[in-house]
Amino acid sequence: MTERKFLEALSGQTAFPPPIWMMRQAGRYLPEYRDIRKKAGSFLDLCYNPDFAVEVTLQPIRRFGFDAAILFSDILVVPHALGRDLRFEEGVGPLMTPLGKEDISALEITGVHERLAPVYETVRRLRRELPRETALIGFCGAPWTVATYMIAGRGTPDQAPARLFGHSSPEAFAHLLDRLAACSAEYLIRQIDAGADAVQIFDSWAGVLDEASFHAWCERPVAEIVRRVRERRPTVPIIGFPKGAGMLYAGYRQTTGVTALGLDWTLPLAEARRLQAEGPIQGNLDPMRLLAGGRALEEGVDAILATLGGGPLIFNLGHGVTPETPVEHVEAMVRRVREAVR
Ligand code: 1CP
């Protein structure tokens, strides 16, 4: 393995086989994660306890030797640090008190980074403990995606409450996105200063918006985060993941300034190839192929490598690994990628 293969791909170099990591690689499909989760108590206790958070970040690295580790935390620690209540309920997911227009100016901007200090401590310890060749990824949620949970107070299938809020109260909504962008940029800068080698901005709900809203609510706030991070830490690569952006992926790299594009599995590989001509891409195996295993997995891996293996690529899933996924399927995927020949 070349040293720091993941960072080389982000700088535009082509390697074959490509570097590999997996979204949600620390999580419930791993028995050793479930053990720690029981010990930690609540999911938030796990995120804010550096001993536990470091351990679960390292678990998939020990098992599979991925080229990158991703900080174990959640995108919703940012609104939590801004004073919104948050809990995670087994089988339901995140629950918050729905945010109203009048709550936006009451968000507690001062003290945010003191409340997030355990996350920075986790990053510092991780960079010390990880092997040199394993890159460390920091992350945040994109303002749009974080806002969807703040407004609905929970996950919804189509983010109708946030879309309605944005269209009914455009000024208040723009103000919310601005606040989240400023806070998220500082959050990423502090992760970088603590030792993150690259950062990813997760916009998991980019795919539910019309074109004008995509520009205003996804691209514009992410561009603002990228501008603020670059101003202070100009060399650190930034991966943008506007999941489900479809045809709107085409303008995203240029509009936002991200270094690399994270692609979901619905994007045709020929289109992925065109995007790759402009810079590094990451993705995009359907997590259901990984869950199914066997031929579905092999054919999915092979198609990505055949179409995209000749350019700067970070092999990944098109979204997070699901809790039911057998560990042996992950092993088979890593082997298939690592043993591939061109
Ligand atoms: O019971 C448990 O153990 C909690 C499950 C879990 C885990 C493992 C949640 C709750 N979050 C996480 C960790 C997490 N979340 C990581 C860790 C690093 C890694 O990838 O290994 C990351 C990067 C996230 C980011 C995240 N949280 C996103 C963006 C990426 C994505 O998956 O779309 C989103 C949308 C969330 C919100 C969230 N947190 C947890 C759940 C179940 C959800 C989704 C809720 C929903 O919409 O239904």
- Can you read off the two tokens belonging to residue 47? 């995120």
Span from the CA of 25 to the centroid of ligand 1 (angstroms): 11
Has 227 been labeled as part of a binding site? no
Give whole-number Cα distances, 183 to 109, 180, 256, in Å: 8, 5, 17
φ and ψ of 88, to 5 deg: -115, 125
Task: Look up residue 293 and give its two tokens.
Answer: 């295993």
Q: Considering the entire predicted model, what is its pTM? A: 0.97
The C-alpha atoms of residue 229 and residue 189 are separated, in whole angstroms, by 6
- The angle that helices 50-64 and 117-129 make with each other, rounded to 10 degrees, is 40
C-alpha dihedral over 97, 57, 286, 132, to 10 degrees? 140
**DSSP 3-state assignment of 70?**
strand
Q: Residues enclosing ligand 1, CB less than 6 A? A: 23-28, 37, 43, 70, 72, 74-76, 88, 93-94, 139, 141, 145, 155, 202, 204, 320
Peptide bond into 17 cis (omega under 30): yes
Cα gap 165→160, rounded to integer Å? 8
Active-site option among 4, 33, 37, 253:
37
**Phi and psi angles of residue 328, each rounded to the nearest 5 degrees, phi first:** -65, -30
pLDDT in tens for each of the 342 residues of the chain? Answer: 446 999 999 999 999 999 999 999 999 999 999 999 999 989 999 999 999 999 999 999 999 999 999 999 999 999 999 999 999 998 899 999 999 999 999 998 899 999 999 999 999 999 999 999 999 999 999 999 999 999 999 999 999 999 999 999 999 999 999 999 999 999 999 999 999 999 999 999 999 999 999 999 999 999 999 999 999 999 999 999 999 999 999 999 999 999 999 999 999 999 999 999 999 999 999 999 999 999 999 999 999 999 999 999 999 999 999 999 999 999 999 999 999 998
3-state SS, residue 306: helix
- What residue ranges do the domains of the chain occupy? 20-254
Please give the distance, rounded to the nearest whole angstrom, from the Cα atom of residue 324 to the centre of ligand 1. 15
Annotated catalytic, 28? yes
CATH topology of domain 20-254: TIM Barrel (3.20.20)
In the annotation, is 197 catalytic? no
Please name every residue paired with 94 in a beta bridge, in sequence order, or none if there are none: 88
Residue 1: the pLDDT is 46
The one-letter amino acid at 101:
K
CA 341 to ligand 1 center in whole angstroms: 34
Ligand 1, atom 6, residue with closest C-alpha: 27
Picking from 270, 338, 273, the residue whose alpha carbon sits closest to that of residue 301 is: 338
Residue 143, CA distances (Å) to 20, 179, 187, 231, 338 in order: 27, 9, 13, 19, 35
d(CA 316, CA 147): 26
Torsion of Cα atoms, 42 then 46 then 49 then 53, to 10° = 170
Q: Catalytic: 127?
A: no
What's the number of CA atoms in the CB half-sphere (13 Å) around residue 321? 24
Residue 106 phi/psi, 5-degree rounding, is: -90, 0
DSSP string for residues in 110-176: TTHHHHTHHHHHHHHHHHHHS-TTSEEEEEEE-HHHHHHHHHHSB--SS-HHHHHHHHHSHHHHHHH
Nearest CA to ligand 1 atom 13: 74
53: three-class secondary structure by DSSP: helix
- ipTM reported for the complex, 2 dp: 0.90
Residue with the smallest CA separation from ligand 1 atom 9 is 74
Q: Does the annotation flag 249 for ligand binding?
A: no
Compute the residue count for the chain.
342
State yes or no: is 84 an active-site residue: no
Ligand 1 center–CA 23 separation, angstroms: 9
Q: Is 37 a catalytic residue?
A: yes
pLDDT of 272 reads 98
Find the helix packing angle between 143-152 and 160-168, rounded to 10°.
100
Exactly one of 29, 48, 120, 149 is catalytic; which is it? 149
Is 113 one of the annotated binding-site residues?
no
